[in-house]
């Protein structure tokens, strides 16, 4: 790979040295053919400029003295042509670079060079105050002579006589200005509107206009995030970003705070948590620790995502990078995609903004898993002949969902101050998030502060300071599956009103309300983030930037099991204390160079980065306390205490670079690389190199486009990229081995250690080879379409592979295997109606991904109980025994064997591949309607295909086996009753028939449509709000997780016999795919700007 990069670099340098001079020389020798009769001198000069790519400079008096001319230049070189023309109009000429200066014969030479100076500022569409910025391009038209503004917005440039300046900055209007030595230059460039003029900020501050963008990147702005739930920022991207999936990680987890997973273009690594499949999150240029390979934070019992520590109100934009040209520069952390989060900066007039939102949360009716109520349960038990077993319960009918869940509420306050002057811009914010969750005794409080200050110390030196942090307090208690498994005939209270710990049959109620109210489950987290950046302008167009940042978090968790309930009674109280610390330090330095060259823009980036991550935790526990009031470890004797801990540290060094050239806004090419070294990998392979090549052709900027293509097609671009990115986000013990210390391994009273995990000095990064191509086009100046195809192939998959027992180990982690993800993405943004003050716009995205295992170390594949990873299939292929239904003569369950024959014997050897979890396609649709001060918007999510094995249906579908301890799904009210009965569910019995073992019986289609979010906002008239000393004011209402539709019926008419029928509720994917019931949120809010 190093040889390949060396050859590519050499080739590119030769190309630069050889091609550009040759090109310039070729233009001077270009043949001119022009026959103009009785034409103005201006028309003739413009024709010569088009044929030659040279630019003419002259005094306007020259045009007045030469009204109309007739010329005939036949197959002449450019210089021969200029010589004949200057002779005809009686002037002298001079050619420098690609500029021709025509001047009077009364002057022996053109005017002497003089230095002009000026100021250029930018103005955003949402702020009327112009502001200076470093890097605005100032170019003499038709030449390579130019400069850029400094941090004060000032520039100086030498010119010879009257010239035309071309002044431009990415994302802002381009202006041309005729100037001479006496011209006063003080310009303001207005921010451009429209999709094609959007600027995409990617890795290390690299900017590309969407019009010429090579990489596959999608940006979500603060406006897109305004009216969405405010707890975690990863959830905000669902349905907005094509190719991004956001799902609950474990559907069995009944916690109010389950872990979630984010996937960008599928999973590039093997499943089961060996490697992380999560994208890399970057906050203001600094990586954020989001947990281990399964998003788990080491140490605390309950892992809460660090992405909940960030206040969404502080976010300016979130950009998701997907292809190699966008991610290769992140090297060994880029294969799963990269998500860049940029926080807000101030600009313009100082403003104070206050926002308030109040929210009511309640369990969504569509997401409530249906189980038997008290009367239904008693009827089923009596039908099974077990009525005497529950006679002691009386006529109790408990709705355990209502017992464990209640109405939740959220209050959110945000206050910010922002603004700017000539040299400094600032943004300072504070927020308070207070949530009472729907699950009993669960609360979240988040106190956040953040500031960002940019100041220009001089024309050459600028500083950026970002400081932020949050203090998060969580009270946590998990009901688990009890809300649907507990018997409905059991009361949560004893006759005396105390909390019941056992039911009538002496079955434990666990967890019970006693655990919710008597135990303590608290966690507090201090999260801090800081970054300091300095940029020094060495020369016009050449900047040196250095940045250092720290991401720190400290977690304290206290759990106490009271001696009054079953969790702590047998221990006389049990106390757990966990402390965890995570520290991530990153420092980088970059050289950025921009140069206007041969009618194009050359951009180069060269950088160095160092990173150090340190995490540690300590756990301690104690039991046998005198009472529940003193909850300190020191109150227990030494024999009743336990402790453990862990420390992990990794370090990495990287070099990276990028070179791009954009010519005439038509052709854009780029090459990037990164070389990473990491302490986590084997001693023999600590370094790896990643690279990417990309190109884009904006066809609609070609000359032939203007007159030969219908105006209804206003834009067309093709793009292509190829390169590599890596995945090194795994446990460092995989390569180094792991020693476990314990007293059980000791000798002679000394604690000893054994190697519990073998080492592999050759373990290296997984490398993903990424190919991406796409086409973007615009129609009618109101519809923009983007289509992309990708194919990502991951080599050197890391898996836990078996080894010879002679090594002393059963298995080690090693590189073996190959995995492919390929797919298609589409985005459509349109302005459907725009007239009479009414606007209707739509954003649509669609994605499909196909995952395929290309090779594994063995042909057998890797499987667990319900899924299998084998060559030729999906890495998460479902591996199940096929359900054949119910024998109508006996009511017995039936399955298919491996050969497709019906059998009444359940055998795991009959498992076959039964589809995949991944949907066939999925996406989101956002519609927005604006009329005067009103805005109505709604977001729909859709997903077609894919299957899910429901643990809820399995647990509550036991066919009577556990009828005296576990409630039944309402689906089983329709069960076999008599010979000849055609039922979908077997006969109810306490004798095991294996009917509730994992099979396709519990496999459900994931196809669904969700009304995810809907909001209505009214912005009060400006004249009205100004009377109250306000600048802007708006009020809104919002609903989230409103409804879900699936292709299944939700109820059916059930025949009870004897001419009696009942309507029963059926469970579908909508209420069977997560352990904790989902909730719908209804909000009202106000936004005030002073």
Compute the Cα dihedral for 1028, 1029, 1032, 1036 and give only its sign.
Answer: negative
Q: Alpha carbon 762 to chain centroid distance?
A: 32
Query: In the Cβ-directed half-sphere of 976, how many Cα atoms lie within 13 Å?
Result: 23
3-state secondary structure of 666: coil
Q: Closest Cα partner for 411 from 435, 431, 430?
A: 435
Please answer whether residues 761 and 686 qualify as being in contact, where contact means their C-beta atoms are separated by less than 8 angstroms.
no
User: Are the C-beta atoms of 193 and 206 separated by less than 8 Å?
Assistant: no
Bridge partners of residue 32, in order along the sequence: 76
Helix axes 78-88, 41-52, angle to 10 degrees: 170
The pLDDT of residue 194 is 67
Give the CA diameter of the chain: 123
Distance CA 1046, CA 945 (A): 11
Question: In terms of Cα–Cα distance, which of 605, 581, 582, 584 is closest to 593?
Answer: 605
Copy the structure tokens of residue 579. 């402390």
Beta bridge partners of 415: 354, 430
- Of 589, 604, 465, 596, the C-alpha closest to 155 is 596
pLDDT at 23: 37
Cα separation, 917 vs 866, in Å, equals 11
Cis omega (within 30 of 0) on the bond before 135? Answer: no
Q: How many residues does the chain have?
A: 1090
Rounded to a whole number of angstroms, the distance between the first and last alpha carbons of the chain is 57
Which helix (H) or strand (E) element contains residue 1026? helix 1022-1026
Domains and CATH numbers, the chain: 2-104 (3.55.50.30), 113-193 (2.60.40.1120), 468-474+519-637 (no CATH)
Measured from the Cβ of residue 559, the count of other Cβ atoms closer than 10 Å reads 22
* Closest residue by Cα to residue 1079 from 389, 592, 436, 441: 436
pLDDT of residue 252: 64
3-state helix vs strand vs coil in the chain, percent to 5: 15, 50, 35
Q: Which residue do the tokens 């018997």 mark? A: 487
CB proximity list for 342: less than 8 A, separation 6 or greater = 201, 284, 315, 316, 317, 318, 319
Q: What is the 3-state secondary structure (H, E, C) of 308-342?
A: HHCCHHHEEEEEEECCHHHHHHHHHHCCCCEEEEE
Q: Are 1034 and 1019 in contact (CB under 8 A)?
A: yes
Q: At what angle do helices 2-28 and 78-88 cross, to 10 degrees?
A: 30
Q: How many CB atoms lie within 10 A of CB 830?
A: 17
- Positions of E strands within 749-782: 750-757, 766-779
* Those residues with Cβ within 8 angstroms of residue 365's Cβ, 6 or more apart along the chain or in another chain: 1080
Rounded distance between C-alpha atoms, residue 580 and residue 557, angstroms: 9
Alpha carbons 55 and 142: distance in angstroms, whole number: 5
The helix/strand/coil state of 700 is helix
Picking from 589, 510, 577, 506, the residue whose alpha carbon sits closest to that of residue 547 is 589
Those residues whose C-beta lies under 8 Å from the C-beta of residue 1083, and which sit 6 or more positions away, are 357, 358, 359, 360, 410, 1037, 1038, 1039, 1040
User: What averages of pLDDT result for each successive group of 10 residues across the chain (1090 residues)?
Assistant: 45 38 46 85 83 76 75 86 85 78 67 78 76 83 79 82 82 82 82 74 86 91 83 89 89 74 92 84 90 78 87 92 95 93 88 95 90 95 93 90 94 94 90 94 94 91 94 92 92 92 84 92 94 92 93 94 92 93 94 89 94 92 91 87 87 94 93 92 87 95 87 93 90 75 75 78 90 95 95 91 74 87 96 92 96 84 84 93 96 96 96 93 96 94 94 92 94 93 93 94 94 94 82 93 92 82 90 84 94
């Amino acid at each position: 790979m190093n040889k390949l990069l060396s050859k590519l670099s050499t080739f590119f340098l030769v190309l630069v040295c050889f091609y550009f001079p040759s090109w310039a020389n070729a233009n001077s020798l270009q043949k001119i053919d022009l026959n103009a009769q009785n034409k103005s001198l201006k028309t003739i000069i413009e024709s010569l400029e088009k044929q030659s790519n040279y630019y003419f400079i002259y005094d306007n008096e020259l045009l007045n003295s030469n009204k109309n001319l007739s010329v005939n230049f036949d197959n002449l070189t450019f210089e021969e042509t200029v010589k004949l023309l200057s002779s005809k109009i009686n002037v002298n000429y001079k050619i420098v670079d690609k500029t021709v200066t025509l001047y009077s014969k009364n002057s022996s030479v053109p005017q002497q060079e003089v230095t002009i100076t000026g100021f250029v500022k930018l103005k955003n569409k949402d702020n009327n105050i112009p502001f200076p910025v470093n890097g605005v391009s100032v170019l003499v038209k038709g030449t390579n002579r130019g400069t850029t503004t400094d941090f004060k917005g000032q520039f100086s440039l030498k010119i010879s006589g009257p010239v035309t300046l071309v002044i431009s900055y990415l994302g802002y209007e381009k202006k041309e200005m005729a100037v001479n030595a006496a011209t006063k230059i003080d310009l303001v460039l207005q921010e451009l509107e429209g999709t094609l003029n959007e600027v995409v900020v990617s890795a290390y501050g690299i900017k590309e206009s969407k019009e010429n963008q090579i990489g596959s990147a999608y940006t979500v702005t603060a406006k897109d995030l305004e009216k969405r739930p405010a707890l975690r920022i990863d959830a905000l991207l669902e349905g907005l970003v094509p190719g991004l999936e956001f799902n609950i990680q474990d559907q069995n987890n009944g916690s109010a705070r389950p872990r979630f997973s984010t996937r960008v273009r599928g999973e590039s690594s093997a499943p089961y948590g060996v490697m992380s499949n999560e994208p890399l999150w970057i906050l203001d240029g600094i990586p954020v620790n989001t947990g281990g390979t399964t998003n788990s934070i080491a140490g605390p019992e309950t892992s809460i995502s660090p992405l909940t520590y960030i206040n969404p109100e502080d976010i300016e934009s979130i950009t998701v990078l997907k292809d190699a040209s966008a991610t290769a520069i992140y090297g060994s952390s880029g294969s799963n995609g990269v998500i860049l989060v940029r926080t807000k900066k101030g600009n313009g007039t100082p403003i104070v903004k206050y926002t308030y939102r109040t929210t009511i949360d309640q369990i969504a009716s569509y997401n409530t898993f249906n189980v038997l109520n008290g009367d239904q349960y008693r009827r089923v038990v009596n039908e099974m002949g077990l009525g005497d077993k529950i006679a002691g319960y009386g006529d109790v009918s408990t709705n355990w969902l209502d017992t464990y869940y209640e109405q939740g509420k959220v209050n959110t306050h945000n206050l910010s101050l922002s603004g700017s002057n000539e040299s400094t811009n600032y943004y300072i914010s504070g927020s308070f998030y207070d949530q009472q969750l729907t699950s009993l005794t669960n609360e979240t409080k988040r106190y956040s502060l953040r500031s960002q200050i940019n100041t220009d110390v001089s024309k050459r030196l600028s500083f950026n300071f970002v400081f932020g942090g949050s203090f998060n307090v969580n009270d946590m208690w998990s009901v688990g599956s009890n809300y649907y498994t507990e018997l409905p005939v059991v009361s949560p209270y004893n006759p005396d009103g105390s909390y019941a710990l056992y039911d009538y049959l002496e079955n434990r109620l666990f967890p019970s309300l006693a655990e919710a109210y008597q135990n303590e489950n608290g966690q507090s987290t201090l999260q801090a983030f800081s970054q300091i950046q300095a940029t020094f302008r060495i020369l016009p167009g050449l900047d040196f930037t250095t940045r250092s940042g720290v991401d720190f978090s400290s977690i304290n968790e206290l759990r106490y099991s009271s001696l009054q309930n079953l969790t702590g009674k047998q221990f006389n109280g049990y106390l757990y204390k966990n402390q965890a610390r995570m520290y991530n330090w990153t420092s980088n330095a970059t050289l950025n160079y921009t140069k206007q060259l041969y009618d194009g823009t050359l951009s180069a980036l060269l950088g160095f980065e160092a990173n150090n991550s340190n995490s540690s935790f300590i756990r301690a526990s104690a039991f046998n306390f005198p009472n529940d009031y003193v909850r300190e470890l020191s109150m227990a004797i030494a024999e009743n205490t336990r402790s453990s801990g862990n420390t992990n540290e990794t370090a990495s060094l990287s070099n990276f670079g990028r070179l791009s050239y954009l010519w005439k806004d038509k052709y854009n090419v780029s090459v990037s690389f990164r070389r990473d070294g990491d302490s986590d990998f084997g001693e023999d392979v600590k370094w790896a190199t990643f690279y990417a090549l990309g190109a884009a052709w904006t066809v609609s900027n070609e000359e032939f486009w203007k007159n030969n293509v219908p105006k209804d097609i206003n834009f067309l671009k093709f793009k292509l990229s190829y390169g590599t990115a890596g995945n090194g986000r795994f446990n460092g013990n995989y390569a180094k081995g792991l020693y476990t210390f314990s007293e059980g391994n000791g000798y002679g009273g000394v604690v000893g250690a054994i190697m519990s995990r073998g080492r592999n000095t050759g373990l290296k990064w997984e490398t993903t080879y990424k190919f991406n191509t796409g086409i973007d086009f615009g129609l009618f100046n109101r519809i923009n379409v983007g289509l992309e195809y990708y194919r990502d192939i991951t080599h050197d998959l890391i898996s836990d592979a078996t080894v010879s027992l002679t090594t002393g180990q059963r298995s080690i982690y090693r590189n073996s295997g190959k995995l492919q993800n390929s797919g298609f993405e589409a985005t459509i943004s349109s302005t459907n109606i725009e007239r009479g003050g009414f606007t209707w716009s739509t954003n649509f995205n669609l994605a499909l991904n196909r995952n395929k295992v290309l090779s594994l170390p063995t042909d057998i594949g890797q499987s667990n109980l319900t899924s299998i990873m084998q060559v030729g299939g999906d890495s998460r292929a479902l591996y199940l025994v096929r359900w054949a239904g119910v024998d109508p003569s006996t009511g017995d369950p039936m399955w298919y064997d491996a050969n497709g024959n019906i059998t009444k014997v359940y055998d795991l050897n009959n498992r076959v591949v039964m589809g995949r979890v991944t949907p066939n396609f999925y996406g989101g649709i956002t519609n927005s309607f604006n009329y005067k001060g009103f805005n109505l918007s709604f977001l729909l999510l859709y997903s077609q295909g894919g299957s899910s094995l429901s643990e809820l249906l399995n647990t509550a579908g036991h066919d009577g086996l556990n009828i005296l301890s576990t409630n039944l799904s309402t689906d089983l009210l329709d069960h076999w009753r008599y010979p000849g009965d055609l039922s979908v569910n077997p006969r109810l019995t306490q004798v095991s028939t294996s009917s509730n073992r994992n099979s396709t019986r519990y496999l459900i289609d994931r196809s669904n449509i969700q009304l995810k979010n809907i909001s209505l906002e009214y912005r009060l008239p400006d004249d009205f709000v100004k009377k109250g000393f306000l600048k802007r004011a708006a009020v809104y209402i919002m609903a989230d997780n409103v409804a879900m539709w699936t292709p299944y019926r939700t109820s059916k008419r059930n025949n009870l016999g004897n001419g009696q029928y009942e309507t029963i509720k059926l469970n579908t994917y909508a209420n069977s795919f997560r352990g904790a019931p989902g909730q719908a949120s209804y909000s009202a809010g106000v936004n005030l700007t002073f």
